Structure 1
Amino acid sequence: MRPRVKPALRRLDRGGRSLQFGVHPARAVVLADVEPAVREVIDALDGTATVPEVVARARRHGLGEAAVRELLGLLAGCGVLDDAAVRPDALGGLSLAERDRLAPDLDELSVVTGATDGGLGAMRRRRAAHVRVYGAGRVGAQIVALLAAAGVGHLCVVDPGPARRRDLVPGGLGWEHVGRPRDEGAVELARRVAPAVNAWPGRAAARPGDGAPRPDLAVLAPVGPLDPVLVAELAEAGVPHLPAAAFEGFGTAGPLVLPGRTACLRCVEFHRRDRDPGRAMVSARLGGYPAGEVAGGTVLATLVAAYTAGQVLAFVEGRASHLIGSSVDLPPDSRRRKWSWKPHPECGCCPIERDLRRMVA
């Protein structure tokens, strides 16, 4: 290990022999009563020396090995240290320009995860991830661009419909894409911001049974009504999936469905029918819910896309997504409302629920 203080955390002298790492109240770490010898050791943690070398240097300031190792353990436990010896294999195949572009993402991962690998472990999982996005309108195309920019390595986009002027937003499809298939435009966006991304339109193998490589996660952001047949096929194939939409002045994301483990979208529909007896007729007339991108303004669509992309990244990195078994309403005033969904006994999508139904029967 070659310890260094995380470059993303500002180091500030608070006076009175106190030292602060980081500025945000949720991130800042304060060390009080830091002796001058300890301060010398901390100031020298720049990643150029191994732990034995740090110990040897500390002896010149009167600090023993046990004290130095205790200090390093304390700093690592507080999420302040990185190991500069970690090889950047996660960035293999990227040009220097792309590595520079991803530096802010790595810095964020470094402080968010608290790991000592500088965020490289999480970035490795991003680059290995395969995400399929159904829909490339105002929300979906932005999700594709954001995921590519954040380092997701494999992106399949399914939306053969022609791009319309109403599909254009600053972070998504542009004027040059009007009249062309939306999925092709979204793929262009991904490649433009991340030249090394493996992105392709998936019309030839658009459904789980078409023989396409299985994605780690499918995002459902259709321009029209959500296809219940596609949803059922994803559930049957065991593909985790996450709906996202902006319509009628509201945004919604979730639930993130883990087939056989969490409530599915059919469960959600059953719960809604329990509360609203006329729901079944409404759903039948809509052809799918959400009903598509209607009255979803630019800011709202961007809000939904950014929030959804963040949840996708959490999932592929192995962190806990807030949307597993839950959905979130995202109104324009940003006063979020979270809904929790349990498997519905009438659905039978989860083994436990199926067993309960057999017991009741």
Structure 2
Amino acid sequence: MAETRPPLLRLLPFQLIRRPEGLIVRRGIEQLLLGGDEAALVLETIVTAFEHGPTTAEAVAGLFAEPDRPQILALLAYLESRRILVPAVGNLSEAEETETDLLYWQFRQDPESSGRRMASLRIAIAGVNRIGLRIAETLAAVGVQTIDFVDDPMLRGDPVGCTDAVNVLGRVTPAALWEKQVADTRPHCLVAASDFGGQQLLLRWNRVAHQHDVHFLPVTIEELIGYVGPFVVPGETACLACLRARQNANLVNSADRRLAEAQAHRGQHVSVGHPALLAITAEIAAFEIHRFYAALPQWRVGHLIEYNLFGASMSRRRVFKAPRCAVCSPLHEAVPVNQRKMVPMTALMNR
């Protein structure tokens, strides 16, 4: 019978903080308290044992005196239970950990598989503007490699150099051409973004996403409020048209307000805003996308996030489906009954 070899372990980076009663081992938001006068010497010996690569707990314990080895093995088991020591499997490259890798570790996810998942993600952003650009920059920073910009003239911003910067991050495709190609190059998520208001201008992309079964996230800044969502999963959650139907039911003079939204692209030069509001709204949107596709804790779809810069507040509320939504209601997908279909009498008698 083949002898079972002890598993190889590797030691993840951590910060060592000395204190009068022992040590604090810090990694991420975790802090482990180790007591005893010899704690520093013991941990330094353990770190030295892993300097040349993965090794076994038994090999590390062998560096200590025989009477101390049971306690050392218990300490190593504790470090393994807290995921400071982990099995030496997968990619053992010496590349420095990123803050995103540590985020995955913090929430008990494998950084390698999570990184591959984000790298395979395909994102389309309708809106060549500052907020779309900021969303793309943050998504690229967490590993998204395929970002396509859809140039909708109604969502086109006018900052100097924005178009050049967008070209660095991803391809730019005219809206009409992109719509023809979307069935073949279907993204995982379509983001529609406007940093000068005009939620109505995003309805076109809400419908396109629903028609092609693509996740959809609208992002706007309107009257010094940043709006992210609802994150739409076609067939499962409320869509942007549902949100607007419910908003209209509670608005006074909704027709006048919606008329102003439709002309928002013409009023960019008189739109009020602040760089901080734009940045925060874009970062919230990018984080919601990252959280959903990386399966980070507390991800939610079908919710609207509102950020009030001057009120220093953020709220999240669920958006419910509108029963007769013009875009996503099942009523529009019902198969019509063929009243002229002939049914044989024998079929009726045999029921």
- TM-score bin, normalised by smaller chain: 0.7 to 0.9
Distance 2:215 2:189 in 1: 5
CA distance in 2, matches of 1:156, 1:292: 26
- Which digits, 9 at most, give the CA deviation of each residue in 1:225-245, with x for residues without a partner? 323232112023221111112
1:38, CA displacement in angstroms?
A: 5.8
CA distance in 1, matches of 2:8, 2:134: 39
1:105-145, CA deviations, whole angstroms, 9 ceiling, x for partnerless residues? 44443543344x5x222221111111111112121111122
**1:144-159 residue pairs with structure 2 within 5 A?**
144-159=136-151
Instruction: Please point out which of 14, 21, 26 is paired with 1:21.
Output: 26
- The one-letter amino acid paired with 1:3 is L
Q: Which amino acid aligns with 2:43?
A: R
Counterpart of 2:341?
none
Alignment of 1:191-230 (within 5 A): 199-203=170-174, 205-207=177-179, 210-222=182-194, 225=198, 226-230=201-205
Deviation (angstroms), 1:319? 2.3
Q: Which residue of the partner structure matches residue 286 of structure 2?
A: 309
- After superposition, the Cα gap between the structure-2 partners of 1:185 and 1:51, relative to the gap in structure 1 and judged at 3 Å, is closer
Secondary structure at the aligned position of 2:219 is classed as strand
Residue 191 of structure 2 contacts residue 219 of structure 2 at CA under 8 Å; is this kept in 1? yes
Q: Cα 1:291–1:241, aligned 2, differ >3 Å: closer, same or farther?
A: farther
How big is each residue's C-alpha offset from its partner over 1:291-318, in whole Å with a ceiling of 9 and x where there is no partner? 9963232221111112211222222223
How many matched pairs? 315
Q: CA deviation at 1:47?
A: 6.4
What is aligned with 2:314?
336
Residue type of the alignment partner of 1:6: L
Which amino acid letter does the alignment assign opposite residue 186 of structure 1? V
Matched, 1:274 2:249: yes
Q: Do the aligned partners of residues 291 and 310 (structure 1) sit closer, same or farther apart at CA in structure 2, a change above 3 Å counting?
A: farther
> For residues 238 and 307 of structure 1, do their structure 2 counterparts lie closer, same or farther at Cα, with a shift above 3 Å needed?
same
Asked if residue 264 in structure 1 is aligned to residue 264 in structure 2, the reply is no
2:35 alignment partner, SS class:
coil
Give the alignment's TM-score, normalised by structure 1: 0.71
Q: Assess if the C-alpha contact under 8 Å between 1:255 and 1:323 holds in 2.
A: no
- The offset of 1:200, in angstroms, is 1.2
- Structure 2 residue aligned with 1:75: 79
Partner of 1:122: 114
- Alpha-carbon contact 1:29-1:78 (below 8 Å) kept: no
CA distance in 1, matches of 2:16, 2:23: 11
Partner residue, 1:113: 107
The alignment status of 1:133 with 2:136, answered yes or no, reads: no
Task: Output one character per residue of 1:151-197: Cα deviation in whole Å (capped at 9) or x when no partner.
Answer: 21111101254999x743xxxxxx445xxxx3x64122x2xxxxxxx
Q: Is the 8 A contact 2:303 2:318 kept in 1?
A: yes
Deviation, 1:323, is: 5.0
The answer to whether the 8 Å contact 2:150/2:172 transfers is yes
Segments of 5+ residues of structure 2 without an aligned counterpart are 1-6, 335-351
Distance 1:86 1:48, change over 3 A: farther
Match of 2:17 in 1: 12
2:166 corresponds in structure 1 to 186
Amino acid in the other structure paired with 1:227: L
Q: Percent identity?
A: 21
Question: Contact between 2:123 and 2:147, CA under 8 Å: does it hold in 1?
Answer: yes
Give the direction of change, closer, same or farther, for the CA distance of 1:322–1:276 in structure 2 (3 Å limit).
farther
- Structure 1 gaps of 5+ residues are 92-98, 169-174, 191-198, 356-361
TM-superposed CA distance for 1:65, in Å, is 7.5
Counterpart amino acid of residue 187 in structure 2: P
Aligned partners of 1:135 and 1:222 also within 8 Å: yes
Distance 1:47 1:264 in 2: 53
Give the distance between the partners of 2:266 and 2:150, measured in 1 at CA. Answer: 18
With 59-68 and 336-345 compared, the bigger mean Cα shift is at 59-68
The amino acid that maps onto 2:236 is R
- 1:326 corresponding residue in structure 2: 303
The 3-state SS of whatever aligns with 1:206 is helix
After superposing the two structures, state which structure 1 stretch, 131-140 or 292-301, moved more: 292-301
| 1:3 alignment counterpart | 9
Q: Within 2, Cα distance between the matches of 1:44 and 1:143?
A: 42
**C-alpha deviations, 1:264-315, integer Å up to 9, x for none?**
2122122223333643563356339999963232221111112211222222
For 1:16, give the aligned amino acid: E
Change (3 A) 1:110 1:265: closer
Contact 2:10 2:54 survives alignment (8 Å) = no
In the aligned structure 1, how far is the partner of 2:329 from the partner of 2:309? 34
Query: How far apart, in 2, do the equivalents of 1:223 and 1:250 lie?
Result: 10
Contact 1:206/1:212 (<8 A) preserved: no
**Amino acid aligned to 1:109:** L
SS in 1 for 2:323: coil
Q: 3-state SS of the aligned residue for 1:12?
A: strand
Deviates more, 1:247-256 or 1:28-37: 28-37
1:44 deviates by 4.1
1:262, distance to aligned residue in structure 2 (A): 1.8
Select which of 27, 31, 34 maps to 2:33: 31
